Structure 1
Amino acid sequence: MASFVNILSRLTPPPFTAPDEYNGLEFRWKLFVFRPAYFKNELYLLGVILFYIAFFFVGQSVNSRKAEKWVNGYRNLLKDQFSSPVVNGLIRDGHSDFFTFSTGRKNVASLHTIFRLKPYHDLAQTIYQTVWSLVDLQYNPKDDLQLDFKLIPSALPHDFVWAVVAKDELKTIRDSRWDLTFTKTSENTLLPPNMSVMSEFADVTEAIFKSTAILDALRDPKIVPYFRSLAVTDQPRERPSEVAEPEKHVILSLVCPSPSHVDDLNGLVSALFPFVDSLSKVNLRPETKTKLRKVRENLEKTLKVEAEQAKKEEMEQAREDQKAAKRKAEEERISKLSAAEQQKILERERKRSIRKSQGKSIRKA
């Protein structure tokens, strides 16, 4: 007991003793006295907490203003194009992710406008992203804005993957988009020098540029700071685990502009709607159609084999789990028996093992 008291006495901090003389700032009210000079550390801590709170609210406001300004700036365009232009308004998912949903238009089943902004409200993440971008030059987080048009099946009669990508985004896009791994990257003299084409076959690029008027919008110098990629695809962005009905999408990926530069992208966004409508006119050569179909047939076979293998492994794992559960239940049952009964069971198991080993030896002989 004495040793316990001794340990507590060592852990207990010494009592605070105020000096006899105090010449600093002092506040008195009846029996209460407050001397700020004795609370310097607490004042610094309070300052840090207030700074963190202010950083959170300012960052949250910055992201909200960016998303709201975009939606308000393109609300009239969406009203002209969709019967239900902004269903349920701007929906928030946390403090840096927002999205809107539009539907009711020819050739378009739906339009998802998705904002994935940098976490300006989170001081720790902001510091991490800033420091890591100085260490890893390939790491460059951006305020991502995507316009994802889900097409109706008749809007695009062919199955292919095609994209125009900003050259400084090529590595990021290829790492993050499984569907674009189908393509080969090439230069095209019709595009600005800062853009490249990613296409399965050259015939696809020729047919798109011939049948649509998207080139004029892509040549607009105002879009250069914001443009990341424009893709037409019949494949998912992440590798599927099984065969599924293909969905066709037109996806415009941008760096979300500041509220004062929202109108810089008006020409490109407006051009997307006639671009979507003109995709039905894209006509490919018969040999290109055959190659595209073969690629998808091979993919379908691969996915089926992988799905069957995964199912077989899942069934084997289920059988192993079932056997393990039976063994555990048997062990629990045996543990509740008397020592003599347990000894009988162990002896019976030992004899059974000997017979099995003898049977194997005879078969080998």
Structure 2
Amino acid sequence: MADGSVLTRLLAPLADLGRAFTPPQLDLTTYDGLEYRWKFFVFLLRQEAILAAAIAVYVIFYWFGSSVNARRANTWLNAHSVLYEAQFARPLDGGLIKDGYTDFFAFSTGRRVVESLHTVFTLIPRHDMVQIVFQFLWRNLYDLAYEPRDELLLDFKISDDVAVPDFVFAIVSKDELHSIKDNRWDLSFTKTSENPALPSALTVMSEFADVTEAVFKQASTFLDTLKKPATQRYFRSLSITDQPRAHPEKPTFARERRVLLSLVAPPPSDAAATLPLVTATFALVDGLERLSLRPETKTKLRKVREEFVARMKEEAAREAKEEAADVRAAAKKKAEEERIAALPAAEQAKARVLPHSSFALRALDAGKILERERKRNLRKTQGKVVRK
């Protein structure tokens, strides 16, 4: 007994230490919240259960949305792969390239008339729950005309060896008129008009009537295909252009002739619906080298482009003159600041409160720069081609 008492006294500090580090037991008799049991696991706290469920829903939403987008792009390409293989020596050079979870690209080359074809998918961000909710609220609460869609663009770059006249022409769905005018600067060269050869839901944007007639002669197959409701519902626009889609920064900008077919990407179950329209577009592209315009039309087209370049050169010269004036003003300001810095302290204090002090000059120069940038941006956004 004596030995037991001694051992108990020796172990008592260790027992006290163990009780100090042992967390208090949960009193389950007073718990009235949610309780989830699975085998020997018990989830008692409601907040943690809701958080775990929310994370699980987000992960499932993310995985499902990204897989749907990838499947939509792959299914469309598979439905059109036979056509691509028949048209190009290298139909899908590098396969389908993925850029995030909404953008997919395919590059094709090795064909007469066409230097390259970029197939570009811009899909709804189905993987992002926040963006989906935002788009839903924006459409239903703010902009009723806003309609997020899966977009598909076939960008044909015409070979430089092919003799195709320089012009801008487009067939556009009337639902797209507002957005396409805002996003496509090159279409500012055109005028919008109705045409009896098109369904009532479509309209023409062309520089001259002769251009429209010449294109329609080579686009008979495309127009017949476009009249079918099965393909028309996925059509957004077809444009033939020699101008950049965005306003050029300099007068010496590169001009490339392109044919752009813009579609709504169909669902996987209807991926082959656009096959006749894409096939007809290849035929239209081949017909461009046979396209003929009247000499007076070519003269007008050339004059429009020359006048636009001349205006850009005038603007560039004016901006260069303004920048040179700014440089001279900056040099003058620096000289003034150096002169003031060389004065005694009392005279410096008097000089800095004058209307043309260094602070006032800096504010004046900043105002000029901001005003010039504002005018430059205004010219870009409102710069329409004026035709006489």
Task: Name the TM tier (shorter chain).
Answer: 0.7 to 0.9
Say if 1:117 and 1:143, in contact at 8 Å, map to a contact too.
yes
How far off its partner does 1:308 sit?
Answer: 2.8
Change in CA separation of 1:161 and 1:27 when aligned onto 2, cut-off 3 Å: closer
Say if 1:156 and 1:248, in contact at 8 Å, map to a contact too.
no
How far off its partner does 1:211 sit?
Answer: 3.0
Aligned residue pair count: 327
Change in CA separation of 1:313 and 1:42 when aligned onto 2, cut-off 3 Å: farther
Local SS of the residue matching 1:21: helix
Asked if residue 187 in structure 1 is aligned to residue 191 in structure 2, the reply is no
Please list, as runs of the form range in 1=range in 2, the aligned pairs for 1:298-313 lying within 5 A after superposition: 298-313=307-322
2:108 and 2:152 map into 1 onto residues whose CA distance is 15
Residue aligning to 1:272? 281
Residue aligning to 1:361? none
How far off its partner does 1:304 sit?
Answer: 1.5
Residue aligning to 1:286? 295
How far off its partner does 1:183 sit?
Answer: 1.1
Change in CA separation of 1:311 and 1:89 when aligned onto 2, cut-off 3 Å: farther
**Paired amino acid for 1:114:** V
Change in CA separation of 1:35 and 1:251 when aligned onto 2, cut-off 3 Å: same
1:323 and 1:19 map into 2 onto residues whose CA distance is 82
Change in CA separation of 1:18 and 1:275 when aligned onto 2, cut-off 3 Å: same
Change in CA separation of 1:27 and 1:166 when aligned onto 2, cut-off 3 Å: closer
Asked if residue 48 in structure 1 is aligned to residue 57 in structure 2, the reply is no
1:45 and 1:348 map into 2 onto residues whose CA distance is 65
2:101 and 2:43 map into 1 onto residues whose CA distance is 37
**Paired amino acid for 2:258:** H
Deviation string for 1:103-137 (max 9, x for gaps)? 11111111011111111111111111111111212
Residue aligning to 1:95? 101
Asked if residue 155 in structure 1 is aligned to residue 162 in structure 2, the reply is yes
Please list, as runs of the form range in 1=range in 2, the aligned pairs for 1:61-76 lying within 5 A after superposition: 61-76=67-82
Please list, as runs of the form range in 1=range in 2, the aligned pairs for 1:86-125 lying within 5 A after superposition: 86-125=92-131
Asked if residue 239 in structure 1 is aligned to residue 247 in structure 2, the reply is yes
Please list, as runs of the form range in 1=range in 2, the aligned pairs for 1:319-338 lying within 5 A after superposition: none
Change in CA separation of 1:65 and 1:27 when aligned onto 2, cut-off 3 Å: closer
1:34 and 1:122 map into 2 onto residues whose CA distance is 32
How far off its partner does 1:327 sit?
Answer: 8.5
How far off its partner does 1:287 sit?
Answer: 2.0
Change in CA separation of 1:348 and 1:63 when aligned onto 2, cut-off 3 Å: closer
Which runs of no fewer than 5 residues in structure 1 stay unpaired? 1-14, 335-341, 357-365
Residue aligning to 2:5? none
**Paired amino acid for 2:306:** E
1:62 and 1:309 map into 2 onto residues whose CA distance is 52
Asked if residue 126 in structure 1 is aligned to residue 135 in structure 2, the reply is no
Residue aligning to 1:344? 344
Say if 1:154 and 1:280, in contact at 8 Å, map to a contact too.
no
Local SS of the residue matching 1:253: strand
Deviation string for 1:308-360 (max 9, x for gaps)? 334444555566677778889x69xx7xxxxxxx8736648979x99x9xxxx
Deviation string for 1:20-77 (max 9, x for gaps)? 6257758799xxx96533x101111111111111111111011111111112222221
Asked if residue 216 in structure 1 is aligned to residue 224 in structure 2, the reply is yes
Q: What is the aligned counterpart of 2:144 among 125, 131, 137? A: 137
1:343 and 1:325 map into 2 onto residues whose CA distance is 15
Residue aligning to 1:198? 205
Say if 1:155 and 1:276, in contact at 8 Å, map to a contact too.
no
Residue aligning to 1:12? none
How far off its partner does 1:92 sit?
Answer: 1.1
Residue aligning to 1:8? none
2:268 and 2:217 map into 1 onto residues whose CA distance is 35
TM-score by length of 1: 0.80
**Paired amino acid for 2:209:** A
2:330 and 2:25 map into 1 onto residues whose CA distance is 66
Deviation string for 1:255-307 (max 9, x for gaps)? 00111111111111011112111111111122221221111111101221223
Change in CA separation of 1:44 and 1:279 when aligned onto 2, cut-off 3 Å: same
Residue aligning to 2:306? 297
1:93 and 1:28 map into 2 onto residues whose CA distance is 41
How far off its partner does 1:181 sit?
Answer: 1.5
Change in CA separation of 1:185 and 1:79 when aligned onto 2, cut-off 3 Å: same
Asked if residue 227 in structure 1 is aligned to residue 238 in structure 2, the reply is no
Query: Identity of paired residues, percent?
Result: 45
Residue aligning to 2:370? none
Say if 1:233 and 1:248, in contact at 8 Å, map to a contact too.
yes
Deviation string for 1:121-164 (max 9, x for gaps)? 11111111111111212211211100000101343521111011
Name the Cα RMSD after superposition. Answer: 3.2
Residue aligning to 1:7? none
**Paired amino acid for 1:303:** M
2:348 and 2:235 map into 1 onto residues whose CA distance is 76
